[in-house]
Amino acid sequence: MGRRTPAMEWLAQLGVRKPHIESEDGGFVYYTRYFTGSSRPRRRGPALCAIGSFSILTLDGDNGTWSITLFGINGDAGLKALRDPDCFTWVVPACPLHAHRLDGTPITGVLPMAGILDRYRRFVIDDQPVVSGFGLPPPPTVTR
């Protein structure tokens, strides 16, 4: 049920009472680049690490891929320079426990992401469910 989910429209079309929804901008902007190589880099430090006014997040992917994400407060205009791959590559070595993760081959440019909304959906209102079974897989078929 991501931010573009049509699920709430589907429920409305079925005549279901709207769930309670609260949303708030997370206030962060993320700059991510994906890499590949013959083997993923060994973890030398924590996956998430604050470095002054920004943080670095390094995650392993599948099929020999991994990512490096630099992120900070949405209003920090200086972070916009991280969209440039040369700037991104210049900043990562400032994080010595993560710098070796640049040793792979980039498979994307720097991908910016902002405007992330944190959503809280409540499907029980006044102790009554607005819908039951929503989001659950169908029960298994029993064969005899």
pTM of the model: 0.72
pLDDT of residue 1: 60
Cα–Cα distance list, 22 to 53, 68, 94, 97, 129 (Å): 28, 30, 38, 38, 17
Residue 46 has pLDDT above 70, yes or no: yes
3-state secondary structure at position 135: coil
What are the structural domains of the chain? 27-129 (3.30.70)
pLDDT of residue 97: 94
Supply the mean pLDDT for the chain: 88
Residue 123 has pLDDT above 70, yes or no: yes
Higher local confidence (pLDDT), 21 or 105: 105
Q: How far apart are CA 65 and CA 139, in angstroms?
A: 35
Q: How confident is the model at residue 67 (pLDDT cuts 50, 70, 90)?
A: very high
Cα–Cα distance list, 127 to 122, 123, 124, 130, 132 (Å): 11, 10, 6, 9, 13
